[in-house]
Amino acid sequence: MASQFQLFKRRRFSAMFFTQFLGAFNDNVFKQALILLLTYMGASKLGAPISVLNNLAAMLFILPYFLFSALAGQLADKYEKSKLTRLIKVLEIVIMTLAAVGFVFEWYALLFVALFLMGTHSTFFGPIKYAYLPQAMRDDELVGANGLFQMGTSLAILLGMIVAGILTQLTNALYWVSAMVMLVAVFGYFAARFIPTTPAMQPDLKVNWNIFTTSMATIRYLYSLPFLFFVILGNSWFWFYGATFLTQTPEFSKVILQGNESVVIFLLTLFSVGVSIGSLLCKSLTKNQVSLRLLPFGIAGLSLFAIDLYWSLSQMDINQTGALFGIGELWAIAGSWRVFVDLFFLGFSGGLYIVPLYAAMQAYAPTSHRARIVGANNIFNAIFMVGSAIFAIVLLNALGLSLPQLFLVTGILNVVFGAFLYVKLNKHIKNATLQNKDDAAPMA
């Protein structure tokens, strides 16, 4: 594992790592601050249920992935990636300025607009960072680099949520949040300036600016590559699954565990640290090879601990005192440790599940279309994550299921989907061929 961290000494890795880390961190400071604002203040002001507002926010952030991912993939294949990244980071500074105004004046409509625009920013950055890795890394570095990226993303999500939770407790909280998101956007731009120049993979590509026809063309191309198609379905299922749990965490923390904002952050910490550890172990467990051998263990863990989370939450008996508990008070309640263990191992299983799929997507994608394959991945991610929000709204609001029952249903669905996915991947991997071995040498 030591050699994995040696990549930080290489500018070709560290510059992109910190650029994406700061972007993910800023996404989550902004999103979590908005969710906490909606959960503890905005819902009463707007007269809408917490679950509806939180799932609406999740849908608004994800919608640009569905609309613009194919276009983003074309641009990342056509243009040099470091320059494109810097332009996108300038856009982030502008968006966070809008968000700051929205926070300071509590203009929820403007905050929702900024949330959609931040999703757009992330949509255009996604194909760049994942197409960059196999171009900049050697073959024996790809799994380790993906593990570090997934660890970095998980920690950025975690730290962003923690920082948002801390800032929202301060006097003049919304001013602090506004200053933070603008400052981090500026740091992200400066990190992007250190990304080495990478050759454009298809500079003569004619960009189709029609987002609907280019999305359909990208999906059709992906469907012609069955192995990659099912890899991307597997990736997208992970985001459906994770979104189903993480979006509901503030509500089940407050409603079921009667926890305050610190409990929300603690639960998300357990999940994120679990993902980070699982992701880092992938390099050692696969012996640094692009391999799907860890996938069954990830699938099994995601289902096992989701189902156990249902039982652990259902069996907890918390007296309705009206006061919200802190972490120490909640820890003293019988059965709480089991909830904590379930969330940690849900994250751990997710790390074992997602890193092999991302590495396979990058390694097996045709070099000339790699960014567009990532764009197709983001389209499916968006469909599945929007589907997750709709799924949660239907089960919780239309069918009247409880949050633990939602987790139970999701865990059972994972068994079915996971078995289907593993069978399909094993069927098609024999016909998949690595196509990017000699197309581009790694940068120094």
pLDDT at position 365? 81
In the numeric block, the tokens 């991912």 are attached to: 69
CB atoms within 10 A of CB 77: 26
Bridge partners (DSSP) of residue 259 are: 325
> Do residues 378 and 72 make contact, with C-beta atoms less than 8 angstroms apart?
yes
Express each pLDDT in 160-205 by its tens digit.
878 888 888 888 888 999 999 999 999 999 999 999 888 888 888 8
Two tokens at 232? Answer: 């991307």
Express each pLDDT in 365-403 by its tens digit.
887 777 788 888 888 888 888 888 788 888 888 888 888
pLDDT at position 88? 93
Express each pLDDT in 107-145 by its tens digit.
888 988 999 999 899 889 888 887 888 788 777 777 778
Q: What percent of the chain has pLDDT over 70?
A: 91
pLDDT at position 319? 61
Average pLDDT value for the chain: 83
> Do residues 253 and 264 make contact, with C-beta atoms less than 8 angstroms apart?
yes
- Torsion angles phi and psi, residue 433, rounded to 5: -125, 130
pLDDT at position 437? 39
What is the C-alpha separation between 130 and 26, in angstroms, rounded? 19
In the numeric block, the tokens 């926070």 are attached to: 103
User: Within 13 Å of residue 296, how many CA atoms lie on the same side as its CB?
Assistant: 6
Q: When comparing pLDDT for 220 and 56, which is higher?
A: 220
Residue 327 has pLDDT above 70, yes or no: yes
Two tokens at 152? Answer: 């970095």
Compute the Cα dihedral for 377, 236, 384, 417 and give only its sign.
Answer: positive
pLDDT at position 132? 84
In terms of C-beta distances under 8 Å and separation of at least 24 residues, what long-range contacts does 106-112 make, across chains too? 106/37, 106/174, 108/42, 108/46, 111/34, 112/56, 112/57, 112/60
User: Within 13 Å of residue 154, how many CA atoms lie on the same side as its CB?
Assistant: 28
Rounded mean pLDDT, 229-236: 92
Residue 255 has pLDDT above 80, yes or no: no
Q: When comparing pLDDT for 190 and 35, which is higher?
A: 190
Residue 440 has pLDDT above 60, yes or no: no
What are the sequence ranges of the domains in the chain? 10-197+213-429
Residue 300 has pLDDT above 90, yes or no: yes
Confidence of residue 97 (pLDDT cuts 50, 70, 90): very high
| Residue 347 DSSP class | H
What is the C-alpha separation between 149 and 279, in angstroms, rounded? 9
pLDDT at position 410? 93
pLDDT at position 1? 45
pLDDT at position 411? 93
CB atoms within 10 A of CB 317: 7
Confidence of residue 93 (pLDDT cuts 50, 70, 90): very high
pLDDT at position 442? 36
pLDDT at position 434? 45
Architecture of domain 10-197+213-429: Up-down Bundle (1.20)
Residue 271 has pLDDT above 60, yes or no: yes
